[in-house]
Amino acid sequence: MATEQSSTPAAYEKLLEQYERATYLGDANGVLSWDQEVMMPEGGTPARSKQRGAVSAAAHELLVDDDVGAWLATLVEAELSAGKRAAVREIRRQYERKVRVPTDLVEEISEATSDAHPVWQEARGNDDFDAFAPTLERLLELKREYAAHIDPDADPYAVLFAEYEPYLDLDTAERILESLREGLVPLIDAVRDAERDLYSVEGTFPESEQSALAREALETLGYDFERGRLDTAPHPFSSGTQFDARVTTRFDESEPLDSLGSTIHEFGHAVYTQGLPREAYGSPLGEHRGLTVHESQSRLFENHVGRSEPFWAFFTPRFNDRYGTDLTPRQAYEAVNQVYEDNCIRVEADELTYHLHIVIRFEIERELLVGDLDVSEVPAAWNDRMESYLGVRPETDSEGCLQDIHWSHGAFGYFPTYSLGSVLAAQLYAAAERELDGLDSKISAGEFDPLHEWLDDAVRQHGCRYTTDELIERATGEPFTADYFLAYAESKFGELYGL
């Protein structure tokens, strides 16, 4: 016993050190990826692929090292503090997934997804699903095989979903998505039937002004530019660490509210990252708590702040000053909340229809993975469901089942986290409203600190200390539920559309 006890802390220290090295390598890869999207000249691709591959491989080797298995075995019965137990739990989870998948298969998937990207791009460009079908079939096969290595007895979709959201099981995801479908389909029908046109912003809004306004929005919302940057990228994203969490956005000169919304969305991701504990950098306790929680932070700021009346009471004068317009706060509020019932494109969807786009992808992916749907049947299945849930049928596959990049990445099981994050945002925001006096009036006065402090306390400071479900219960006092989102949606859009 004496020997075991004295070896335990050493095993923990060694395990953590190795995990930290892998984290640093992963974050180094994040910088390579940011640079590739934002700065790299076109010709750099071949070398960058090699560099990223080498850094990934080095990180992978550290994580699946035999020593890691041995240290984890030593630590099974060790007495550790709650924080250390949580760190070991997270490292164990990752180790057990990674070590089960043969390196050959990892490499095969990596190559197949590399090859898939241009095939998908061309297929989408030519509106030619048949050109992408064999690639999709191959990726599904590889991912089925991948899932079977991790857990041969489990639903492959559940295994893949756990890659992005490890602690909300698939039943929970299904229950939430089902609630969304049941609640939102009639609400969208009612919006359509109301035939009310909300106020629209029209005109030309120069990129330089949009960029300055995006920067102003970030500054007033509380983004720390000492630990971040704002740049442009074709597909906006946020990436980095608690020491350097960067935001990208893009500008369309006729849609000034789109880039602003997208900037605020990415701000939500980045401010979560900036709020992770710095002293725990490298350890699971310094890492984000999976994609559901990450997306909850972006959606909270994008929707519950950035699409709220209080925010536009505060921000409309700044908008008007920048562009020489004379919008009222109500007009701006209406303009950012229009429901586009006849839109086929997920990334252009409003707060309501968005989730039906996700439900369709979730259903189709599940059926594909278990073999209930053949790849050749995807376009029809997609279009039928669009018609049934949203009342609109895509005219082309480019506007239908070829629109998203995710499948070409082999990222089956990813989409639900978008909706789960939105739902969680509503639950968290309702808790913040309960606990913070007069949150609305703080926001209409441009005071965002109380909300940030609440989020620091409830979410950011914990890193991966708690599982997703624990985090939600601790932060809101309740299990994960779609009730707050549905109540929010009905109240907000009911008022906007006079339902």
Where in the sequence numbering do the catalytic residues fall?
266
What is the smallest separation between the CB atom of 369 and a second copy, expressed in angstroms?
34
Q: Which residues contact 257 (CB under 8 A, 6 or more apart)?
A: 201, 332, 335, 336
Spatial separation of the C-alpha atoms in residues 483 and 53, rounded to whole Å: 43
Give the 3-state secondary structure of residue 232: strand
Neighbour tally for 275: CB within 10 Å? 21
Q: Does 104 bind a second copy (CB under 8 A)?
A: no
Q: Does 14 bind a second copy (CB under 8 A)?
A: no
Q: H helices then E strands: how many in the chain?
A: 20, 3
Q: Does 456 bind a second copy (CB under 8 A)?
A: no
Q: Point out which residues pair with 240 in neighbouring strands.
A: 245
Relative to beta strand 230-232, strand 238-241 is unpaired
C-beta of residue 341 within 8 angstroms of C-beta of residue 392: yes
Residue 432 to residues 116, 269, 478, Cα–Cα distance (Å) = 43, 18, 13
DSSP conformational letter for 390? I
What is the smallest separation between the CB atom of 279 and a second copy, expressed in angstroms?
10
Q: Which is closer to a second copy, CB of 31 or CB of 198?
A: 31
Q: Does 27 bind a second copy (CB under 8 A)?
A: yes
Q: Does 67 bind a second copy (CB under 8 A)?
A: no
Q: Which listed range, 46-54, 192-200, 382-390, 480-488, lies at the site for a second copy (CB under 8 A)? A: 46-54
Q: Which residues contact 23 (CB under 8 A, 6 or more apart)?
A: 281, 282, 283, 287
Q: Which is closer to a second copy, CB of 107 or CB of 372?
A: 107
- For a second copy, the binding residue among 14, 37, 40, 442 (CB under 8 A) is 40
Q: Does 54 bind a second copy (CB under 8 A)?
A: yes
Size of the site for a second copy (CB under 8 A): 42
H/E run at residue 186: helix 170-194
- For a second copy, the binding residue among 2, 3, 41, 326 (CB under 8 A) is 41
Spatial separation of the C-alpha atoms in residues 226 and 244, rounded to whole Å: 8
What is the smallest separation between the CB atom of 43 and a second copy, expressed in angstroms?
4
Q: Does 57 bind a second copy (CB under 8 A)?
A: yes
- For a second copy, the binding residue among 5, 45, 376, 441 (CB under 8 A) is 45
Going residue by residue from 200 to 229, which x/- string records binding to a second copy, judged by CB under 8 A? ------------------------xxxxxx
Q: Does 277 bind a second copy (CB under 8 A)?
A: no
Q: Does 281 bind a second copy (CB under 8 A)?
A: yes
Q: Which is closer to a second copy, CB of 277 or CB of 446?
A: 277
Q: Does 473 bind a second copy (CB under 8 A)?
A: no
What is the smallest separation between the CB atom of 40 and a second copy, expressed in angstroms?
6
Q: Does 282 bind a second copy (CB under 8 A)?
A: yes
What is the smallest separation between the CB atom of 311 and a second copy, expressed in angstroms?
26
Spatial separation of the C-alpha atoms in residues 43 and 78, rounded to whole Å: 52
Q: Which is closer to a second copy, CB of 9 or CB of 53?
A: 53
Q: Which is closer to a second copy, CB of 54 or CB of 73?
A: 54
Spatial separation of the C-alpha atoms in residues 474 and 156, rounded to whole Å: 30
Spatial separation of the C-alpha atoms in residues 239 and 344, rounded to whole Å: 28
Using CB under 8 A, which residues numbered 240 to 259 contact a second copy? Answer: 240-244
- For a second copy, the binding residue among 4, 10, 13, 39 (CB under 8 A) is 39
What is the smallest separation between the CB atom of 219 and a second copy, expressed in angstroms?
14
Q: Which residues contact 161 (CB under 8 A, 6 or more apart)?
A: 170, 173, 413, 416
Amino acid residing at 208: S
DSSP conformational letter for 305? I
C-beta of residue 217 within 8 angstroms of C-beta of residue 315: yes
What is the smallest separation between the CB atom of 42 and a second copy, expressed in angstroms?
6
The footprint of a second copy (CB under 8 A) covers 20-21, 24-25, 27-29, 31-32, 35, 39-48, 50-55, 57-58, 224-229, 240-244, 278, 281-282
